[in-house]
Amino acid sequence: MLVPHEKIRQILSAYDKKKIKIATICSHTALQIFHGARLEGIKTIGITTQKRRKVYEAFPLGKPDKFIEVDDLREVPASELVDENAILIPHGSLVEYSGSKLEELAVPILGNRHSLLWEKDRKKMFEWLKAAGLQVPATIEPDKIDRPCIVKLPGAKGGRGYRVVHSSEEFYEKFGGMNVTVQEYLIGVRVYPHYFYSPLSKDGYRASEGKIELIGIDRRFESNIDEAYRTEQAGLSFTPSFTVVGNELLVIRESLLEDLLEMGKNLVEAADRLFGGIPGPFCLETICDENMQFFAFEVSARIVAGTNIYPLGSPYTAYLYPEPMSMGRRIAREIKLASKANKLQKIVY
Ligand code: ATP
């Protein structure tokens, strides 16, 4: 059950606007979030286990101003955060660890928590992608597999356990009785654009009541598929797997930027219609085929790990801001601007 919007409004209206802090759990994109907030002059809180604390202390410019130690990262200390005037920044680990508890947390969260429900349910997520007019891979019934398909386990597990199958027989042999999604396997280049939607300004690429910024693009490095040529050269055979290991920067043909911007704009406007919008960062996972057509298979309405590549700005933020701008810093900038304009309610739920 989502915590009522009205309750978050009340908590936020009691905050001292001059002392807003940024909080997140120490994982995923936390270094970047703390670093960006520091550059914007906003104090930060890192929720951590005792063991992990030293990792963040090893990076003085990326560590939080204050640590809150917990025994288990699934436990977000909501009332302590409220006492600290904190806004919680959701990232991949926070969403994965907290699960449905995140929806219930009585602490202001950047973005719209309705989006959490839409991105975690694959059927709803595809409804959103389609409502935005994006092309998506076909979802195939297990007994009708007529082409190479990728079989996906539920939840955001960074591709862990995914396999390619070529027939219904192979599917039942490997996944019979399991709750999985079977999707057409797309051939092309993976392109994962990172966007920021701001309802506070119209100065830029217009979307809904504000604008979107294309902050960067990454491509993931997945084991073992992305080093397949080495394995093959070594004369070994292997079963392709898709577990994310890291990310690398991607810059695409400039003539494709219009497609990326339009996809971002359409996602924002579809989110408006379906569940009241997605202020803040979001990301798409797409494959661009040989005809320069983009097919989207995932959307995340939050900061993604691919943004960790550019803590001091990307090849795209260079044309948006004169100062080094990361996604973490962009988040802090938005909170600062919204707070000054008394519009925090617009970007937080
Ligand atoms: P996360 O939530 O961390 O993004 P996930 O577990 O939801 O991960 P996906 O992002 O859906 O997994 O997919 C993992 C990887 O599998 C992708 O990065 C891509 O390389 C590959 N993949 C996913 N869907 C397809 C597809 N339809 N065709 C080809 N490859 C795909």
Q: Using 50, 70 and 90 to split pLDDT, how confident is the model at 156? A: low
- Give 312's pLDDT tier (boundaries 50, 70, 90): very high
Q: Does 93 share its domain with 168?
A: no
Same domain, 246 and 299: yes
Q: Whose CA is nearest to atom 3 of ligand 1?
A: 158
Shared-domain flag, residues 232 and 257: yes
**How does residue 207 score in pLDDT terms, banded at 50, 70 and 90?**
very high
Share of the chain above pLDDT 70, in %: 100
Highest mean pLDDT among 115-119, 159-163, 234-238: 234-238
Q: How far apart are CA 136 and CA 132, in angstroms?
A: 11
- Give the domain range for residue 174: 142-184
Mutation test of ligand 1: which of 118, 124, 181, 242 has the most ligand atoms closer than 8 Å to its C-beta? Answer: 242
Residues 161 and 306 in one domain: no
Q: What does the block give as tokens for 205?
A: 């690429």
Which of these three, 184, 216, 246, is where a domain ends? 184
User: What number is the average pLDDT over the span 322-333?
Assistant: 98
Contact 307, 328 (CB under 8 A): yes
CB of 298 closer than 6 angstroms to any ligand 1 atom: yes
Give the separation between CA 59 and CA 310, rounded to whole angstroms.
16
Residue of 96, 152, 223, 241 best suited for mutating to test ligand 1, as the one with most atoms within 8 Å of CB? 152
What's the mean pLDDT in 252-260?
Answer: 98
Residues 107, 209 within the same domain:
yes
Q: What is the mean pLDDT of the chain?
A: 96
What confidence tens digit (pLDDT) does each residue in 162-185 have? 999 999 999 999 999 899 999 999
Closest atom of ligand 1 to CA, residue 162: 16
Asked if residue 146 and residue 125 are part of one domain, the reply reads no
CATH of the domain at 280: 3.30.470.20
143 Cα: distance to centroid of ligand 1 (angstroms): 22
Co-location of 178 and 69 in the same domain: no
If you take atom 27 of ligand 1, which residue's CA is the nearest one? 185
DSSP letter (8 states) at residue 203: S
Q: Mind giving me the DSSP string for 15-66?
A: S-GGG-EEEEESSTTHHHHHHHHHHTT--EEEEE-HHHHHHHHT-TTTS-SE
Using CA atoms, how far apart are residues 115 and 109, in angstroms rounded to an integer?
Answer: 12
Q: Residue 98: pLDDT above 90?
A: no
Does ligand 1 come within 6 angstroms of the Cβ of 124? no
For the stretch 27-61, pLDDT in tens is 999 999 999 999 999 999 999 999 999 999 999 99
Residue 158 scores a pLDDT above 90? no
Residue ending a domain, among 155, 184, 213, is 184
- 191 and 333 assigned to the same domain: yes
Probe residue for ligand 1, chosen from 140, 187, 285, 289 as the CB with the greatest number of ligand atoms within 8 Å: 285
Q: Is the CB of 126 under 6 A from ligand 1?
A: no
First-to-last C-alpha distance (Å) of the chain: 14
Same domain, 166 and 191: no
Q: What is the pLDDT of residue 318?
A: 98
pLDDT at position 113, please?
95
C-alpha 232/C-alpha 194 separation (Å) is 33
Q: How many Cα atoms within 13 Å fall on the side-chain side of residue 346? A: 17
The helix or strand, by DSSP H or E, that contains position 125, with its residue range, turns out to be: helix 122-131
Tell me, yes or no, whether 108 and 219 share the same domain. yes
172 with 193, same domain: the answer is no
- Check pocket membership of 185 for ligand 1, CB cut-off 6 A: yes
CA–centroid distance, 40 to ligand 1, in Å, is 34
Work out the average pLDDT over 336-340.
97
* Mean pLDDT of all residues in 244-256: 97
pLDDT band (50, 70, 90) for residue 159: confident
Whole-number Å distance between alpha carbons of 119 and 263: 16
pLDDT at 155 over 80: no
Q: How many domains is the chain built from?
A: 2
- Span 99-127, pLDDT tens digits: 888 999 999 999 999 998 898 889 999 99
- What's the predicted TM-score (pTM) here? 0.96
Cα three-residue angle 33-38-43, rounded to 5 degrees: 90
Of all protein residues, the one whose alpha carbon is nearest to atom 19 of ligand 1 is 242
Residue 341 above 70 pLDDT? yes
Same domain, 89 and 44: yes
Domain endpoint, select from 127, 150, 184: 184
Distance CA 305, CA 308 (A): 6
d(CA 131, CA 175): 30
